[in-house]
Amino acid sequence: MGFPRLLRLFPPVLALLVLCQALPLFAEHPDSRPNIRIGIVAPLSGPFASGGSSFLEAATLAVERANADGGVLGRHVEMVVADSQGRVETAKSEAMRLISREKVFAIVGAYLSEETVGVIEASVAARRILVVPVAATAEITDGVKRDYPRYRYVFRVAYSIPQWAALMSEFLRERRVRTYAFVGSGIRWNRELAEALKKNLAASGIVPAYETFYSPRNPAFEPVAVAAAAAAPDILVLGDPGKNSVVFVKRFREGGSAVPILSVGGSLGDARVASTLPLAAPLYVQAAAWRGASETATAYVEAFEKRYGYSPVGYSDTLPHDAVTVLLSAIRAAGRLDTNSVLSSLEKGAFPGVAGTYRFDASHQAAWGTGPWDLRGTVIQWEKDGARIVFPRR
């Protein structure tokens, strides 16, 4: 066979190779198509590992459920996990790695407001969808309002600071309190929350009797607890989702104060922790959803307990679960794995999650609030034999 005859064979061989490459695109079986890769950025080590671990567990549950239901668009969903260590720079570089090296379709994360801002920069630069599950600072959705073409890839499932304050205010108004004390960790979103709450409640004549923020490095709990109790508020709002909230409750109750406490959620939503605290005076905890709030919420709690052996806290787990669920539902609704189509689907659609049905406004913020279509969240009260939903009243 001479060289010219070999050349004649080249086109059919090339066509065969192209056909072989293209065949998986026509296959119907989910396993034969490339996986949908979703990046998860969460603090899995360091001081915020507790929240990050809940985040990952709940996201895993959502992905497992989607795969058990046959995947999304006939494809298997795969999580690619990155540890942000609770650091802004690490979160940003890990998000960049997920995008450039791991080729994820979208990212869910991060956890803290500060690290989320870093992840936003990485995701918008690469035009990847980012669903923010927990972080509450205004900066996250401000970008979408300010510069839509650049920041349109960012969506937030969690309640924003003003929404959070509105939900808390409604609860406080219903409790008919006249004064409150705000005590929390001295971090950015907490100060924003205290300010938003003050503004929100001022119209109803509810005023702060005491307000302070402790340093996470040297919290000085005892004098804060003494001063808060001495101010004799009708209720104490505890703005700290971390382990320090547990220590503060212990100090406050040790001092003999019977002032009710409303926690923003997190560690105090953990049934194992709550069972060790004095509960003679009310301890309320805010959550996105709770067992008994709806059939979906109860099913989620039972699935979580079965899978991990303990109950979810209803905040740092529920919201990441819903963030993943919303993203996968939007991909399904779009009908194709294309960023613009999924983005459009997220903007226009309504997506059921554990906390209710998520709809995004013009700034890509999920609608939480008191309107008929809004997500409302829940407040529980810890009692000796478990939690009871006290808000919204049913």
Interface with other proteins, residue 253, by CB under 8 A: yes
Rounded to whole angstroms, the maximal C-alpha distance in the chain is 100
Region binding other proteins by CB under 8 A among candidate stretches 70-78, 271-279, 351-359, 386-394: 271-279
In the structure encoding, which two tokens stand for residue 192, read together? 């924003």
Q: Identify which of residues 133 and 162 has a Cβ nearer to other proteins in the complex.
A: 133
Look at residue 103 and give its three-state secondary structure. coil
Q: Which residues contact 239 (CB under 8 A, 6 or more apart)?
A: 182, 183, 184, 185, 190, 193, 194, 264
Q: Identify which of residues 156 and 321 has a Cβ nearer to other proteins in the complex.
A: 321
Interface with other proteins, residue 110, by CB under 8 A: no
Region binding other proteins by CB under 8 A among candidate stretches 71-79, 96-104, 145-153, 236-244: 236-244
Q: Identify which of residues 58 and 330 has a Cβ nearer to other proteins in the complex.
A: 58
Minimum CB distance to other proteins, residue 123 (Å): 26
* Choice from 143, 162, 233, 242 touching other proteins (CB under 8 A): 242
Sequential DSSP letters for 255-317:
TT----EEE-SSGGG-HHHHTTS--SS-EEEEES--TTS-HHHHHHHHHHHHHHSS---SSTT
Interface with other proteins, residue 281, by CB under 8 A: no
Q: At what angle do helices 113-125 and 139-146 cross, to 10 degrees?
A: 30
For residue 392, whether the previous peptide bond is cis, meaning omega lies within 30 degrees of 0, is yes
Interface with other proteins, residue 49, by CB under 8 A: yes
Closest CA to 94 of 111, 72, 77: 111
Closest CA to 381 of 318, 305, 287, 249: 287
Q: Identify which of residues 314 and 356 has a Cβ nearer to other proteins in the complex.
A: 314
Interface with other proteins, residue 188, by CB under 8 A: no
Q: Identify which of residues 162 and 242 has a Cβ nearer to other proteins in the complex.
A: 242
Binding residues for other proteins restricted to 194-223, rule: CB under 8 A? 212-215, 217-220, 222-223
Region binding other proteins by CB under 8 A among candidate stretches 1-9, 199-207, 253-261, 347-355: 253-261
* Choice from 24, 32, 45, 335 touching other proteins (CB under 8 A): 45
Distance CA 335, CA 339 (A): 11
Burial of 108 (C-beta count, 10 Å sphere; 0-12/13-18/19+): buried
Q: Identify which of residues 219 and 292 has a Cβ nearer to other proteins in the complex.
A: 219
- Contact set with other proteins (CB under 8 A): 45-47, 49-50, 52-54, 186, 212-215, 217-220, 222-224, 226-227, 229-230, 242-244, 246-247, 250-251, 253-256, 267, 270, 272-273, 276-278
